[in-house]
């Protein structure tokens, strides 16, 4: 008896969760070979390409033999760690309970990998082949630790193997209830990362005599207070403006627009605000190595995210607008410029058609992700490709799903697994 698509996706996700791929160390090889065997069994040509031993990336290709677009279903099989003591289920059990699959990676992002692969297995079992172009399934290692051995490695060292026109990856798709509207975001852009260190200098001394030295740590207090008091000024960019247009909120005054968003749904305002400009979040501090020594040097490390396309000079100007220009040293530790794909493409049209068919009246809009995914490496390597994040979910909306990502009791409804797999099945049929 044939297994229906939802059941097939559910069982595949359960199998994937049972591979412990916590990164570090990753150990993705067993999971990748498991997936490669399934795809080779239905006619895909598979390669396992590793930058370091035991951590291969899977590239599976189904070609038509005719010219046409290349469509890539992208995912990663590594996960963050999990503390079993904080869970009500074994994080690596893939337990099916209360209509959900439980386990680390159930949302981020073994679920999407399972839905993408279940979709192409279903197509092949039904006798489908692309009539033009090619379908690729790329499953990477090391995404959770920066993709040095994963998508970054593939796009920089093996671009001819992963070159594509359309990419569907993580980063968007869950239903967003917003007032009386139902919204689905498509991640078309990701902010850049410009993390930096603030340093204050002083003079060491014995801590039992507070005024004998010049305490560098105290000089950082005003900087911390400044960052607690406000973020850099809001600035216009295409994705938040597209959202405001979609929901009928004027965008000429972004402060007023944020207040209007907050009035409709304060939950969404928390997620929307970081898309409006540069953000700075102090996360780490260091000073004296001994409790009885006044520190002569103290540092704060700050996570800084910058709108797509804007670089270090812009980031620094916005940082100094909050901190002022004097009394500290500033050094950038990471410099990654964010990027975007065009928002109006054939791929976006297919997504809108799917949502309209499945959830009539719901709105689809482009979004920018405050963090980043493997899509950024594809956009950088192939500037003309449309690299989007879209994993549709509606049984569990964004407000329910977001706290579970990297958290305890991560889980996903099986209905959403079927919902997403239907999208990936139909998309390949339409594009190819």
- Report whether 186 contacts 368 (CB < 8 A): no
Q: What is the DSSP letter of 232?
A: P
Judge whether 373 and 345 are in contact, CB under 8 Å: no
Helix, strand or coil for residue 338? coil
Active site residue 78: yes
Identify the active-site residue in 11, 28, 29, 78. Answer: 78
Strand, helix or coil for residue 93: coil
- Alpha-carbon span 299 to 198, nearest angstrom: 5
Buried b (16+ CB within 10 A) or exposed e, 348-385: bebbbebbeeebeebbbbbbbbeebbbbbbbbebbeeb
Contacts of 247-255 spanning 24+ positions with Cβ under 8 A = 247/178, 247/179, 247/181, 247/183, 247/363
Q: Which residues contact 82 (CB under 8 A, 6 or more apart)?
A: 22, 91, 92, 104, 408, 410
Instruction: Give the active site residue among 143, 144, 273, 410.
Output: 143
Task: Quickly count: other Cβ atoms within 10 Å of residue 317's Cβ.
Answer: 12
Is residue 276 within 8 A of residue 258, CB to CB? The reply is: yes
Structure tokens at 397: 């909306």
Task: Determine whether 201 is an active site residue.
Answer: no
**Residue 22 CB partners (closer than 8 Å, separation 6+):** 78, 79, 80, 81, 82, 104
Q: What is the DSSP letter of 110?
A: H
SS3 345: coil
Specify the pairing of strand 181-190 against strand 100-102: unpaired
Active-site residues: which are they? 78, 143
């Amino acid at each position: 008896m044939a297994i229906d698509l939802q059941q097939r996706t559910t069982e595949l996700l359960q199998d994937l969760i049972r591979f412990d791929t916590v990164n570090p160390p990753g150990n993705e090889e067993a999971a990748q070979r498991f997936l490669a065997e399934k795809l080779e069994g239905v006619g895909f040509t598979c390669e396992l390409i590793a930058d370091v031993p035991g951590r291969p990336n899977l590239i599976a290709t189904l070609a038509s033999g005719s010219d046409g677009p290349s469509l890539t279903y992208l995912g990663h099989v590594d996960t963050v760690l999990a503390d079993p003591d904080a869970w009500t289920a074994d994080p690596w059990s893939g337990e099916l309970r209360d209509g959900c699959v439980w386990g680390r990676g159930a949302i981020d992002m073994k679920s999407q990998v399972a839905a993408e692969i279940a979709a192409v297995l279903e197509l092949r079992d039904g006798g489908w082949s692309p009539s033009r172009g090619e379908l690729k399934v790329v499953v990477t290692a090391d995404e959770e630790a920066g993709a040095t051995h994963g998508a970054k490695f593939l796009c920089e060292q093996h671009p001819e193997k992963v070159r594509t026109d359309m990419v569907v990856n993580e980063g968007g798709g869950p239903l967003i209830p917003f007032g009386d509207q139902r919204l689905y975001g498509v991640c078309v852009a990701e902010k850049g990362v410009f993390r930096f260190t603030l340093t204050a200098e002083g003079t060491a001394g014995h801590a039992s005599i507070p005024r004998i030295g010049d305490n560098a740590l105290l000089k950082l207090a005003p900087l911390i207070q400044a960052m607690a008091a406000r973020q850099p000024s809001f600035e216009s960019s295409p994705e938040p403006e597209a959202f405001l247009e979609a929901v009928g909120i004027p965008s000429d005054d972004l402060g007023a627009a944020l207040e209007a968003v907050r009035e409709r749904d304060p939950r969404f305002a928390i997620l929307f605000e970081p898309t409006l400009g540069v953000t700075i979040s102090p996360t780490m501090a260091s000073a004296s190595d001994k409790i009885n020594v006044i520190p002569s040097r103290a540092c704060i490390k700050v996570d800084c995210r910058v709108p797509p396309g804007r670089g270090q000079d812009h980031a620094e100007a916005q940082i100094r607008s909050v901190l002022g220009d004097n009394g500290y040293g500033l050094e950038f530790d990471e410099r990654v410029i964010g990027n975007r794909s065009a928002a109006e493409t054939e791929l976006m049209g297919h997504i809108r058609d799917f949502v309209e068919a499945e959830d009539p009246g719901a709105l689809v809009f482009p979004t920018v992700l405050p963090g980043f995914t493997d899509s950024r490496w594809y956009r950088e390597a192939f500037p003309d490709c449309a690299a989007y994040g879209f994993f549709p979910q509606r049984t569990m909306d964004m407000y329910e799903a977001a706290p579970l990502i990297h958290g305890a009791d991560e889980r996903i409804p099986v209905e959403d697994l079927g919902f997403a797999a239907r999208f990936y099945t139909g998309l390949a049929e339409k594009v190819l």
